[in-house]
């Protein structure tokens, strides 16, 4: 900074010496060419004191004020210039236009737009130059993080020349397509695409059909290549609500294919029902048939999870599900708004392990606690209290591993959600052929409640065979 000021001072002194026989106006212009506008203002003010009605001097002073960001003073000087010589407005308009172009190159937006508007007020013939500058700058910025500045510039271009609406709409639309191909789930890309598309539709509403079609095509590709499908389907349905049925069918068919391959289709079925609620009964029927098949294969865990999904889509199938479970010999108890179903029983070393599925059948969420008084009574009348409780684990307790988890507290169980549960009982003899009673000691609190009076209850299941 010190070096720069010193160089300026040397240049200023040198220029004064060189300019000593020149007029003040000429000296001021030479300072302006060097970017030394404050020094130029001094010479111009002195010359204006001698020639106050010289329009060119007022113009040059206004130009200096514009360069030093003293905009009100610039307008005052330009106003005096035009009042003395109206034709000088052409030079003033060009000055504002050139200043706007300079600022655009350094990524400023608000001032250039204001200066272009002022330039047009002084000289309307500048419109083609201004429109080209706005359009070209918008094209450059459209694919950058300054997309909003691009929208402003392109919108201003249309305001000056409405015949450009279709061209500007195409630029905005193509910019959105570029961001889609980059991945709409990344960063702010979804918001950027939406803003670009909506701005394009403002100038060409007929583009909506093409945009929705493009989003759907890209979303179908995203099923395989990435995680963008939901964003794109959502945007397509917003752009063209008539596309919802098409989107629902895409989700539905993709879900059926996933199910056939043995993959989890629930996210896709959920998407299908969201875009077309009439598909819910079809989805429930598919899940119901799959659950029955799993029961026949003795895969109770999967069957119970599928039955729970059936009820998500069609509560009227509840009786059919209960009958199917009963026919398949699924043991079940209802207590405290929860369903307790036996998935399996087996021995592991000296322990007897019971595997259950617990389902919240109510609309409100619960925090489930299973207490240490949980017990079984075998066929000989011998009672055993639980030695280990595990909720939410995909595997049973490890034999021989020490654990003091004889109770589990406040496990969150939201509406229609399930949790797989393991109960371990030690020292049950080989002679025990069945469990005459399983009594699960439970308490629940509403989700989000830390302390309060819990709902205490016991779930009882009877005559559970022990495989030999």
CA atoms within 13 A on the CB side of 277: 1
Q: Report CA dihedral (91, 92, 97, 103) to the nearest 10 degrees.
A: 120
Tokens of 146: 């300054």
Q: What is the pTM of this model?
A: 0.69
Give the integer Cα–Cα distance in Å for 293 and 300: 10
170, two tokens: 């195409």
Give the residues across from 456 on adjacent strands: 443
Distance of CA 94 to the CA centre of its chain: 45
What are the contacts of 28-33 at 24+ separation with CB within 8 A?
28/60, 28/64, 29/60, 32/60, 32/63, 32/64, 32/67
User: What's the pLDDT at 22?
Assistant: 45
- Contacts of 268-272 spanning 24+ positions with Cβ under 8 A: 269/313, 271/230, 271/233, 271/247, 272/248
Tokens of 364: 């409100």
Q: Any idea where the domains of the chain sit in the sequence?
A: 240-330, 332-465
Percent of the chain residues past pLDDT 70, beyond the cut: 91
Q: How far, in Å, are 19, 92, 202, 238 from residue 171 at the CA level? A: 52, 32, 13, 21
Q: How many CB atoms lie within 10 A of CB 460?
A: 11
CA torsion 327-332-333-334 (nearest 10°) is -80
> CB count, 10 Å around CB of 109?
18
pLDDT digits (tens, 9 = 90+) for 376-400: 999 889 999 999 898 876 666 665 5
Neighbouring C-alpha atoms within 13 Å toward the C-beta of 211: 32
332-465 adopts what CATH topology?
Immunoglobulin-like (2.60.40)
Low-confidence ranges of the chain (pLDDT < 50): 1-4, 6-22, 404
Other beta carbons within 10 angstroms of residue 289's beta carbon come to: 12
Contact by Cβ (8 Å): 353, 426: no
- Residue 420 Cα to chain centre, angstroms: 32
**pLDDT tens-digit readout, 415-461:** 888 998 999 999 898 888 899 999 999 999 998 887 778 999 999 99
**C-beta of residue 69 within 8 angstroms of C-beta of residue 62:** no
């Amino acid at each position: 900074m010190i070096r720069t000021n010193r160089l300026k001072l040397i240049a200023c002194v040198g220029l004064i010496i060189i300019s000593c026989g020149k007029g003040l106006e000429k000296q001021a212009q030479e300072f302006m060419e060097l970017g030394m506008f404050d020094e130029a203002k001094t010479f111009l003010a002195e010359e204006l004191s001698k020639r106050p009605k010289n329009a060119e001097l007022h113009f040059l002073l206004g130009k200096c004020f514009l360069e030093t960001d003293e905009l009100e003073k610039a307008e005052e000087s330009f106003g005096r210039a035009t009042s003395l010589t109206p034709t000088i407005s052409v030079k003033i308009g060009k000055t504002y236009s050139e200043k706007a172009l300079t600022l655009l190159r350094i990524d400023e937006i608000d001032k250039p737009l204001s200066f272009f508007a002022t330039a047009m007020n002084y000289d309307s013939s500048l419109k083609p130059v201004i429109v080209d500058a706005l359009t070209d700058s918008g094209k450059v910025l459209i694919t950058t993080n300054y997309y909003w500045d691009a929208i402003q510039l392109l919108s201003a271009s249309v305001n000056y020349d409405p015949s450009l609406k279709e061209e500007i709409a195409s630029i905005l639309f193509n910019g959105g397509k570029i961001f889609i191909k980059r991945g709409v789930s990344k960063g702010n890309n979804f918001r950027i695409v939406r803003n670009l598309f909506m701005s394009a539709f403002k100038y060409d509403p007929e583009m909506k059909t093409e945009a929705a079609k493009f989003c759907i095509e890209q979303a179908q590709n995203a099923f395989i290549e990435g995680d963008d499908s939901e964003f794109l389907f959502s945007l397509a349905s917003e752009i063209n609500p008539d596309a919802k049925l098409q989107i629902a069918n895409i989700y539905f068919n993709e879900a059926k294919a996933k199910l056939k391959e043995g993959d989890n289709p629930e996210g896709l079925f959920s998407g299908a029902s969201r875009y077309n609620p009439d598909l819910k009964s079809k989805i429930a029927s598919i899940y119901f048939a799959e659950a029955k098949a799993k029961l026949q294969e003795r895969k109770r865990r999967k069957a119970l999870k599928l039955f729970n999904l059936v009820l998500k889509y069609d509560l009227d199938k509840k009786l059919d599900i209960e009958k199917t479970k009963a026919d398949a010999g699924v043991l079940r108890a209802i207590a405290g708004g929860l369903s307790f179903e036996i998935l399996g029983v087996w021995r592991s070393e000296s322990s007897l392990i019971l595997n259950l599925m617990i389902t919240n059948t109510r609309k409100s969420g619960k925090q489930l606690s299973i207490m240490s008084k949980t017990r079984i009574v075998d066929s000989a009348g011998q009672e055993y209290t639980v030695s280990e409780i595990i909720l939410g684990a995909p595997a049973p307790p490890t034999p021989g591993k020490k654990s003091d988890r004889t109770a589990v507290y406040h496990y969150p169980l939201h509406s229609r959600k399930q949790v797989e549960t393991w109960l371990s009982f030690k020292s049950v003899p080989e002679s025990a052929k069945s469990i005459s009673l399983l009594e699960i000691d439970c308490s629940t609190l509403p989700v989000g409640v830390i302390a309060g009076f819990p709902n205490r209850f016991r779930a009882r299941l009877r005559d559970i065979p022990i495989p030999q």
